[in-house]
Amino acid sequence: MEIIVGKLSGFCQGVKNTIKKAEEVLDKKDNVYCLGQIVHNERVIKDLEDKGLTIVNSLDEVKDNSTIIIRAHGAEKDIYDEIDRRKLDLLDLTCGKVKAVRIKADKEKDNHFIVIIGKKNHPESLGVKSFAGDNSIIIEELEDIDELMKNDFNSLYILSQTTFNEEKFDLIVNEIKSRTNKQVIVDKTICNATSDRQNEVGELSKNVDMMIIVGGKNSSNTKELEVIAKDNCKNTYLVQNYLDLEKVSFKNIKKIGIMGGASTPHIVVEEIINYINNQ
């Protein structure tokens, strides 16, 4: 049985930076909190919790005079305002690519109606929208365009969640353009690492008997990889670790493709390879 691991499998640069800086502050300080999961991967979170990190869902859970980490996905504007008001020690680990989208939304909101194409409930999309203000909307599906068209606008400025599906982004943009004669400015802010990984999964999944996507099941970029792989290889599995493969049959499988999401440690992929080789 041949196993092919995607060349772009595993941590993206943004996640590497986030984990490195989180570990550095945990070595120096106590009472370190993170608002939400620092990255969408259970293994990474457990490792950081073992080093002293406390994950919270609200700033109400954070003690005064503590350090608060803003995770790679960023946060909404009022969160930053509250941190400033309470004079908490802030370590903002928002991915640079996400920050760039946020800055663009804030800059263009007075000139255009802002459209954020992304997952409606994803922290990144919600964070960008909070900087865009009321003159904005998040669009996840084609049917959401109906709600956009109810707004009065002279021009649209379209941005993307950095980990959104590139093909779906293009589909939504084309539909928006077909339904308005107003100016439409498209700023495709999908991260290069995301689009490159999606392209590699698309090609790899065409040439294997089985695809295994490795990552957190609440990870947006991982879910998109699963969708793309399934388009070409129906025999596709999204797993968090090798235990999720216990009920999977490898009978008559000659070639397997593996791709780790942007928050997936390489050791998890290695454990999966070892498990398959022992079947």
pLDDT digits (tens, 9 = 90+) for 249-271: 999 999 999 999 998 999 999 99
2-10+193-277 and 97-190, same CATH topology: yes
How is the chain split into domains, by residue range?
2-10+193-277, 13-94, 97-190
Annotated catalytic residue 124: yes
Please count the residues of the chain.
Answer: 279
- Answering whether pTM is above 0.75, one says yes
Kindly report, residue by residue over 170-184, the tens digit of the pLDDT.
999 999 999 999 999
Rounded (5°) CA angle 41-46-52: 130
Using the predicted structure, report yes or no on whether residue 114 has a pLDDT greater than 90.
yes
pLDDT band of residue 145 (cuts 50, 70, 90) is very high
pLDDT the model gives residue 75: 94
Sequential DSSP letters for 72-123: TT---HHHHHHHHHHT-EEEE---HHHHHHHHHHHHHTTTSEEEEES-TT-H
Q: What pLDDT is recorded for position 74?
A: 92
Let me know: does 83 contact 90? Beta carbons within 8 Å: yes
**With 90 as the cut, is the pLDDT of residue 273 above it?**
yes
User: What is the pLDDT at residue 13?
Assistant: 85
Identified catalytic residue from 42, 108, 124, 200: 124
Domain spanning 97-190: which CATH class is it, in words?
A: alpha beta
pLDDT of residue 188: 97
* pLDDT tens digits, 23-78: 999 999 999 999 999 988 888 999 999 999 999 999 999 999 999 999 988 999 99
The overall average pLDDT reported for the chain is 95
Looking at CATH, the fold of the domain delimited by 2-10+193-277 is given as Cobalt-precorrin-4 Transmethylase; domain 1 (3.40.1010)
Assigned CATH for 13-94 = 3.40.50.11270
